[in-house]
Chain A
């Protein structure tokens, strides 16, 4: 990361926050470009083959496509700042409430997957490192490299075949049953999609946890802790994990990005009513405002997650603040 001077945590937090500004600006330019890089006339594409010349001209005016690009960008970003993400033509509705509604479903799926990833990944990684070269280590690392290589969309389909079509334990699609949605019903629907998305992430997390724990275990202070007669469990908990936590937090940040991206595939497999499945349909329908809204929301979330990760990092490792 960028060089940071002294000043402690609040100053570091402020500097890190300021660093997020150009990134968010870049994100907004790229999201803006989604519409304007499109080959052909976006208005004509959005309205479809039956549109009249007048319709196309009206949409040109509404979208401001007749203005210079810079003017269009600032007009658009001004609207976004006021919470106006435009209108979806096929849906005939404003984009913001639509994406917010679906964002909840995506967040739920991502949170479920992250929980599975942390539980499985951290435990497997720590056990592997502590029992390096044991059969347990070999087994969990074998499973991990398999997990990393499995395409999530295929894992999802296989889980549907086994647990939904054959065993009939879990539903294969949707987020709730047609007759109302209790919390337990939603969790029941969440199990397979969260497993699908979470296991791939767990595998990556297990591998990285193992290597960062291994690095710490070889440090002199761990040897000293053992030498002074501390129980192995206490050595691992107090000396190893405490110091291995930082690389793991960084990896967790990266994994959230993987999960938010992977959610697009998982939601499609399980017809989960989130942003991902919405965007895929919107791309096919050339519904640019909806695509832009979805991409902007997910990317902004990811920027915020990375910000939080960096702050956590600075809290756990004071050296970062004074680096």
Chain B
């Protein structure tokens, strides 16, 4: 573990990623204290104010709402929804992978063929199709993006389980009379932890982008909630007069996703030396 930490610390890109994620997390947590105004307070006298307007450091949107406040509250939505969707996908996918790898036979066949079917859809299209069935909204968007990512975790965990099952210590634990369930939950699952953690950090960035994309299309988070994706969608009407209204939420998404991607790359390199 100390080796991993050392490897990770040596990568300046990974540390930068960690710092970006940490800053975003702090901003999201402290949003109610940092935001200069109520993010939903409408001020029609000050519509589309430019950056550095007194009282509105980053300007205002088409309803005169303070952009800095909306961006800060948007960080909460993006991070919470992104993390929740990733957790959902990781848990559901890992369970599928564990079941497929450990039980084998027809259970394995059934799960893996279902995973093949999910993977037959282009990633974002499947999320959109699920929204088409469930209807637009924040929770449905989260479920949609989570379902789409189940195969990613299912395959990683199944491969790890198949490898671990062959090891001598699992054989000997079985010989000692340890129940199959306990074997799966302790020995096998524990070995899946490292690859799943790496997968989660590599995956969160894509999750946040996908959720922002759904909101951008009007299929995820619904107005007037402060959300980066829907802020971007609304800004398209005013690109000529107020380009900053479009630029800012995108920069926020970009920095957050970049942070997670750099962090994920660094963790993967530290935990899997073959890839260096």
Contact = CB atoms under 8 A, between A and B. Distances in A.
B123 A258 contact: yes
Interface stretch (B33-41, B59-67, B252-260): B252-260
Nearest to A305: B122
B120 A37 contact: no
B133 to A, nearest CB: 4
B116 interface: yes
A139 B27 CA distance: 30
A264 B128 contact: yes
Interface stretch (A49-57, A96-104, A119-127, A144-152): A144-152
Interface in B199-220: 205, 209, 212-213, 216-219
B121 to A, nearest CB: 5
A94 B261 CA distance: 44
B113 interface: yes
A23 B135 CA distance: 25
Interface in A118-167: 145-146, 148-154, 157-158, 160-161, 165
Given A30-B121, A291-B132, A299-B121, A268 B217 contact: yes
Interface string A247-288: 000000000111111101100110000000001101110001
Contacts of A29: 117
Which of A211, A261, A291 counts the most B-chain CB atoms under 10 A from its CB?
A: A261
A31 interface: yes
B116 A23 contact: yes
A261 B122 contact: yes
A240 interface: no
Contacts of B176: none
Given A23-B120, A145-B262, A261 B240 contact: no
Contacts of B258: 145-146, 149
Nearest to B123: A261
Given A151-B209, A153-B232, A264-B124, A26 B216 contact: no
Which of B116, B125, B219 is packed against the most chain A CB atoms within 10 Å?
Answer: B125
A148 to B, nearest CB: 6
B121 A145 contact: no
Given A265-B213, A283-B131, A283-B219, A161 B125 contact: no
Contacts of A161: 239, 243, 246-247
A161 B242 CA distance: 10
Nearest to A299: B121
Given A34-B129, A260-B125, A157 B120 contact: no
Contacts of B205: 149
A257 B124 CA distance: 9
A146 B254 CA distance: 8
Interface in A207-237: 211
B124 A262 contact: yes
Interface size on A, as a range, is 35 or more
A37 B265 contact: no
Contacts of B216: 151, 153, 265, 268
A303 interface: yes
B123 A257 contact: yes
Interface string B101-142: 000000000000110111011111110110111111000000
A265 B217 contact: yes
B134 A39 contact: yes
Contacts of A259: 122
Given A33-B133, A39-B135, A268-B217, A302 B240 contact: no
A244 interface: no
Contacts of B133: 33-35, 37-38
A263 B273 CA distance: 36
Contacts of A160: 239
Interface in A27-47: 27, 29-31, 33-35, 37-39
Interface in A173-213: 211
13 contacts: A23-B113, A151-B213, A161-B247, A165-B240, A165-B243, A258-B124, A260-B122, A261-B124, A261-B126, A264-B125, A264-B128, A283-B219, A295-B128
Given A145-B262, A149-B209, 11 more contacts: A26-B117, A29-B117, A145-B258, A151-B209, A157-B232, A165-B243, A261-B123, A265-B217, A280-B219, A295-B132, A299-B121
Closest 10 CB pairs of A and B: A26-B117, A261-B124, A154-B250, A261-B122, A149-B258, A257-B122, A37-B133, A260-B122, A149-B257, A34-B133
